[in-house]
């Protein structure tokens, strides 16, 4: 299989359009279409079902693109391995980061990484966990940093960084009569069921954390009264500090404030921060150093800065 043709066909499949793929590949649409027609003539069957709005793979196309992704992965892993052996690092490392703290971590470790690997491009990609998983499956990410409730994919390797509890954030003015004695995680413990009459702001419904929080409320036996959702952690904390709502946040975001109080949920609820990559893929020295630097950052920074 021709590596360049593999790249072209994978791009068309990923973009769902020959026009979008040509733009991504910096080719003219005509030139890319000629390559596709030549390959289809060679194979004796069409690779794509063509419509005006979207192109989809035929069974032959699915087989070809599956093999093409494997070819591109082998090429990428081989070149990365050779770069390590020759100590001539110049590849691009793509890094999946979740919103807010992911990019903050990256900017904190980037200077040191760039000094060690001046010819390597470290490319951050902000994406949800589900988006990262799709990019990892396509070979478009070298590594992702994810906060997850469970290891979902057997084809992925999950490298644990830390376990993190969820914290209930309550406006100071609404915390009267709540426990004061710190529990094992450093905060007083409360049961979510005792907050059925409170107003909440929660992270967006499509997030991994919201899936876990929804289960918490179901187990507590009530649906929360929502002020807002689909906004960031800092915005939720601001609303809590203004006395407008309670919110549930990861421990990392529990910034000390005179306007709110923090509580551990009972029973405690945790998720796991992991580095994630395709099982069996070669991890270059640069990628391993990204994981090491990120791990050190998150284990030594108790709060978001």
Mean pLDDT across the stretch 130-144? 91
Band of pLDDT at residue 230, cut at 50, 70 and 90: confident
Does residue 304 have a pLDDT over 70? Answer: no
| Residues 155 and 252 sit within 8 Å (Cβ to Cβ) | no
Q: Is 73 helix (H, G, I), strand (E, B) or coil?
A: helix
Sequence ranges of the domains in the chain? 3-69, 89-305
Tens-digit pLDDT profile for residues 54-86: 899 999 999 999 999 989 989 988 988 888 887
Band of pLDDT at residue 160, cut at 50, 70 and 90: very high
Residue 238 tokens, joined = 């601001």
Q: What is the DSSP string of 163-194?
A: EEEEEEEEEGGG-TTS--S--TTSS-EE-GGG
Tens-digit pLDDT profile for residues 186-206: 899 999 999 999 999 999 888
Which CATH number, 3.40.50.2000, 1.10.10.10, 1.10.3720.10, 3.30.230.70, labels domain 3-69?
1.10.10.10
| Residues 136 and 276 sit within 8 Å (Cβ to Cβ) | yes
Does residue 305 have a pLDDT over 70? Answer: no
C-alpha distances (whole Å) from 103 to each of 100, 127, 290 are 6, 10, 13
Mean pLDDT across the stretch 25-51? 94
Mode of pairing for the β-strands spanning 225-229 and 199-202: parallel
Band of pLDDT at residue 249, cut at 50, 70 and 90: very high
Whole-number pLDDT of residue 286: 94
Band of pLDDT at residue 154, cut at 50, 70 and 90: confident
**Phi and psi angles of residue 152, each rounded to the nearest 5 degrees, phi first:** -85, -35
Mean pLDDT across the stretch 229-234? 82
Does residue 302 have a pLDDT over 80? Answer: no
Whole-number pLDDT of residue 303: 67
Q: How far is residue 237's CA from residue 171's CA, in Å, rounded to a whole number?
A: 9
Mean pLDDT across the stretch 232-238? 89
**Phi and psi angles of residue 70, each rounded to the nearest 5 degrees, phi first:** -65, -40
**Region 89-305: CATH code:** 3.40.190.290
Question: What is the model's pTM?
Answer: 0.81
Beta strand extents in the chain (DSSP E only): 48-49, 56-57, 92-97, 121-126, 143-148, 156-171, 189-190, 199-202, 225-229, 246-250, 260-265, 270-278
């Amino acid at each position: 299989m021709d590596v360049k043709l593999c790249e072209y066909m994978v791009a068309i499949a990923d973009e769902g359009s020959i026009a979008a793929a040509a733009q991504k590949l910096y080719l003219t649409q005509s030139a890319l279409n000629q390559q596709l027609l030549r390959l289809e003539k060679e194979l004796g069957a069409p690779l794509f079902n063509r419509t005006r709005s979207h192109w989809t793979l035929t069974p032959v196309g699915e087989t070809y693109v599956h093999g093409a992704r494997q070819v591109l992965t082998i090429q990428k892993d081989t070149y990365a391995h050779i770069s390590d052996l020759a100590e001539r690092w110049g590849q691009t490392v793509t890094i999946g980061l979740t919103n807010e703290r992911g990019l903050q971590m990256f900017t904190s470790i980037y200077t040191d990484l760039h000094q060690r690997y001046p010819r390597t491009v470290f490319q951050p990609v902000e994406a949800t966990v589900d988006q990262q998983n799709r990019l990892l499956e396509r070979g478009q990410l070298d590594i992702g940093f994810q906060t997850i409730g469970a290891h979902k994919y057997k084809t992925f390797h999950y490298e644990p960084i830390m376990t993190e509890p969820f914290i209930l954030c309550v406006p100071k003015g609404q915390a009267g009569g709540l426990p004061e004695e710190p529990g094992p995680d450093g905060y007083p413990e409360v049961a979510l069921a005792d907050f059925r009459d409170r107003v909440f702001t929660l992270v967006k419904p499509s997030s991994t954390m919201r899936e876990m929080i929804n289960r918490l409320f179901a187990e507590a036996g009530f649906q929360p009264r929502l002020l807002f959702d689909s906004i960031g952690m800092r915005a939720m904390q601001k609303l809590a500090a203004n006395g407008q709502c309670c919110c549930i946040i990861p421990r990392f975001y529990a910034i000390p404030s005179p306007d709110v109080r923090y509580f551990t949920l009972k029973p405690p609820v945790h998720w796991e921060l992991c580095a994630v990559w395709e099982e069996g893929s070669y991890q270059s020295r640069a990628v391993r150093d990204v994981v090491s630097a990120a791990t050190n950052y998150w284990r030594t920074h108790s709060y978001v800065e």
